[in-house]
Every structure is written in structure tokens, then in C-alpha cells.
Amino acid sequence: MRVFVTGATGALGRHLVHALIAAGHDVTATTRTPGKAAGLREAGAEPVVLDGLDRDAVIAAVSAAAPDVIVHQMTALSGGTRGFRNFDRMFAATNELRTRGTDNLLAAAERAGTRRVVAQSYAGPGPDARPGGGLKTDDDPLDWRPLRTAVRGPAAIAYVDATVPVKAAEGIVLRYGGFYGPGASEAMLGAVRKRMIPLVGGGMGVWSFVEVTDAAAATVAAVERGEPGVYNIVDDDPAPVAHWLPYLAQTIGAKPPLRVPAWLGRLLAGDLVVGQMTGSRGYSNEKAKKELGWEPRYPSWRDGFRAWTSG
Ligand SMILES: NC(=O)c1ccc[n+]([C@@H]2O[C@H](COP(=O)([O-])OP(=O)(O)OC[C@H]3O[C@@H](n4cnc5c(N)ncnc54)[C@H](OP(=O)(O)O)[C@@H]3O)[C@@H](O)[C@H]2O)c1
């Protein structure tokens, strides 16, 4: 198939380009930076320099490529987690890409007659409105507790979830768990090493992870098959922070994380982080396994973290 990948140079995108080419697909891959085009060509893709927020340019580029499938992997998270106390401010550019960027690709798909659109969404930790409510299925909404500093971010994620399956002829939303693995979330390792991620309020918030090459494999599956809808792309082992964080610290030879009460966590890091640490729910991957025929190579972050950090 001809596949148009936006965000092709990102943490997931670069593994996805390789995996699509290895599976025999023709890939057009976008970047905003002309200097990154050679790397995409070397990987076997046809590079296109494109800003996903430039609607006319997006429509023109998609029309020229005439793809069978469009993949939306555009985010703007490489600025790091500075300013994490205000989720909306930190995610402002990503929110644009999730709303306006999605609209541009959907319009381009319609013009070019591209039926299938696969878009990135989020199954990471959050301050759940119903903590303790068990694993979230693919039908469950994001459902975060309302926070003053996290309004636009959750709305932008919910926009992708609600719009893509309805507006594209075959719209697929992949809600990825927390990425780790080659080229992903390296900043987290540094922070764990420096004991900058404490266990807040007992750390009973449950997180779902996915190794980044496993996430790329799930994306290839969604390019090739699956009914329209939302799919959680997470491993088999949702776990409380109190389990995975000390394990990760031990795996990399760091000291155990510091322990901080919730009130102090709130003061230091804000409500969202405390919600992630204490009131987050994990996600079920049953639907993706059954309907996309996807099996993660790392069913548990326990093996995955070891492989990630031993390389
Ligand atoms: N579920 C998760 O846990 C999750 C999800 C996403 C990211 N992350 C983490 O966040 C960190 C940063 O992610 P990242 O490395 O993927 O970087 P990123 O800054 O989020 O960029 C991702 C991709 O989006 C593209 N992009 C950004 N703005 C664009 C625009 N206006 N138009 C077109 N394309 C645009 C970038 O392309 P160019 O810069 O080449 O134009 C890049 O290919 C990583 O550690 C990653 O693991 C985690």
C-alpha cells in the first residue's frame, strides 16, 4: 500500500517508517526540516517537507502522494517536560496538531479519496475522575477529573478519539500507553537516575506502558486491517507507580525513588502529576490483540525496561 506518514521523524514515527518499509509498503514521510529529508530517504521513504498546520500545503502534498492510508503521528513534545505544572501550556502546540492538524489531514484524505486514516491518541496516566474503576476499555472516554490547568489538553485528545472514526471513511485511533524503548522517553531515565521522580502519595495510580517498537508494530497492523474505531495500544501489565518506578530505578542501578506525601507533591508538581501518581487507571489491550491481531513483543514493562536500559 501507499502510506503517508506525518510525524515520521518522531519517537514512534522513525520506527514506524522502518516497519512499514520492511512490510513492503511504499512510504511518503513528512518533516518540517529539510535537513531531515536525507535520513528519511535513506530509510527508504519518499520525504516531503511539510508543516501539518498549513492546510493548503497538507492538501496538496496528500493529493500528490495519493496514499491508500494516512498516519497522523504529529506531536510537539520534544521540548521536554519544563512547565509540567500547566499541562495546557506545555501541550499547546500538540493540542493544535491534535485538532487543526487532524482536521487538515481529514480534509486532505477526503480530497485525495484516501479511505483509511490512523491517528495517534493517548492511553497514558491522568487524574481519573473515577480512580479505582478498573482498566479502561477502548469504549471508555479519557474521563479526567476537571483541573484548571488541564482543559485544552484532554479536550484535544478527546477530539481525536471522537472525530477520526466518524469523519474518515475508515478512521482508526490508536491510544498509546506511555512510550519507552529506543529513542523514547530518554528524559525519564535521567530523571529517575537523579531521583527527580518521587513516589507521590503512595503511588497507587496505575500506568499502562508500551514499548515503542511494539507501538510501531501495532500501527502497521492498523494500517493493514481493523474496523474503524478506537484501540488501546498498551502492554499486558498495567501497574501502579509504586511497582514500576522502584523497579526502573533498580534496573538502572539508581537509588530508590524518594517518597513524598500528596500535599507536598501538589505543592511541588501540581494537581495533574499528583493525579497521575495516585488516581490514574490503566488500559485494557484486549481489543487490539483480538481485532488487529497484534501481540506486543514485550507483554510486560518488566522485561521491556531491562531490554531498554541494557542496550
Ligand atoms: N504515548 C506517549 O508516551 C508518547 C507519545 C508521543 C511522544 N512521547 C514522548 O515525547 C518525547 C518527544 O516525542 P518525539 O520525539 O516524537 O518528538 P515530537 O516533538 O513530539 O515530534 C513528533 C513528530 O511530530 C512532527 N511535528 C511536530 N510539529 C509538526 C508540525 N507542525 N507539522 C508537521 N509535523 C510536526 C515532528 O517532525 P519534524 O520535527 O521533523 O517536523 C516529529 O516527527 C519522546 O520522548 C517520546 O517518547 C510519548
| Ligand 1 center from residue 12 Cα (angstroms) | 8
Reference 279, options 147, 153, 155; nearest CA is: 147
pTM of the model as a whole = 0.97
For domain 2-183+209-235+283-298, give the fold. Rossmann fold (3.40.50)
Q: Is the CB of 124 under 6 A from ligand 1?
A: yes
For residue 94, how far is its CA from the centre of ligand 1 (angstroms)? 8
Of 58, 34, 175, the C-alpha closest to 110 is: 58
Q: Among 28, 51, 74, 231, say which to mutate for ligand 1: greatest number of ligand atoms within 8 Å of CB.
A: 74
Residue 200 to residue 277: CA distance in whole angstroms: 6
Q: Is the CB of 76 under 6 A from ligand 1?
A: yes
Which amino acid does the sequence have at 257?
P
Residue 301 corresponds to which amino acid? W
Which among 80, 65, 175, 90 is positioned nearest to 50, based on CA atoms? 65
Tens place of pLDDT per residue across the chain (311 aa): 999 999 999 999 999 999 999 999 999 999 999 999 999 999 999 999 999 999 999 999 999 999 999 999 999 998 766 677 888 888 999 999 999 999 999 999 999 999 999 999 999 999 999 988 899 999 999 999 999 989 999 999 999 999 999 999 999 999 999 999 999 999 999 999 999 999 999 999 999 999 999 999 999 999 999 999 999 999 999 999 999 999 999 999 999 999 999 999 999 999 999 999 999 999 999 999 999 999 999 999 999 999 999 97
Q: Where are the domains of the chain?
A: 2-183+209-235+283-298
**Dist. CA 222 → ligand 1 center (Å):** 20
At 242, list the grid cell.
509504586
The answer to whether the beta carbons of residues 242 and 199 sit under 8 Å apart is yes
